[in-house]
Amino acid sequence: MDADKLIGREFAGVTLLSVHGRGHSGVVFVGFQKSLKRKVAVKLVPKANLSARSFMDEAEVVAVLNHPNIVTVFDVGDDDEYLFITMQLVDGSSLQSMVERSAKNPIPSKRRMPVTKVLRIIASVLGAWSTPTGRASCIRTSSRATYSSSPRVTGRFWWISG
């Protein structure tokens, strides 16, 4: 998928503004929802890459979860080429980029993530898994989760699985 060519395209009242993350079969964009004048995340997957049923199942599972560490799903749908999920936008870094950034620190003793930070991330993931239906969904998808460690949020995840 050439994500850059999709910038400016509209899906269900949301205009795609920029690429936020990439997964195995799809891309998550930052979008602008005109009706509520807010930025959102839009996960977009070409129909050829994924079965519509499994994509809709994923959206339905995440949509029913209510936990501070799991994003809110706003909408799900499709057009001729793509399936999409519109959800809460979380600013943050992927777990992989956090580990890679630590590993590149010029000070050898700081090339590992601090234990307190690792424990905070683990606690957030376990908290999300503790929801009644969150366990099955999170286990399948958390390897490519984006983690936000902003001071106002204890840790929220959104999924780029597929």
DSSP 112: S
pLDDT of residue 34 exceeding 90: yes
Give the ranges where the chain is alpha helix by DSSP (H).
52-64, 95-103, 115-129, 134-141
For 8, 86, 118, the CA distances from 147, given in Å and listed in that order, are 26, 18, 12
Distance (Å, whole) CA 54 – CA 67: 22
Higher pLDDT, 107 or 126: 107
Q: What pLDDT, in 10s, does the model give residues 60-110?
A: 887 887 777 778 889 999 888 899 999 988 877 777 778 888 889 899 888
Instruction: Name the residue type at position 83.
Output: L
Query: Which single residue is written with the structure tokens 């777990």?
Result: 95
**Closest of 101, 93, 161 to residue 121, by C-alpha:** 93
* pLDDT, position 86: 93
Q: What pLDDT, in 10s, does the model give residues 140-155?
A: 444 345 544 433 333 4
Q: What pLDDT, in 10s, does the model give residues 12-33?
A: 999 999 998 887 778 889 999 9
Q: What pLDDT, in 10s, does the model give residues 36-71?
A: 999 999 999 888 876 777 778 878 887 887 777 778
DSSP 72: P
- All structural domains of the chain, each given as residue ranges with its CATH number in brackets, are 3-87 (3.30.200.20), 93-158 (no CATH)
Tally of CB atoms within 10 A around 20: 23
Coil, helix or strand for 59?
helix
pLDDT of residue 113 exceeding 50: yes
Distance (Å, whole) CA 89 – CA 105: 29
- Structural tokens at position 35: 């009706």
pLDDT of residue 9 exceeding 70: yes
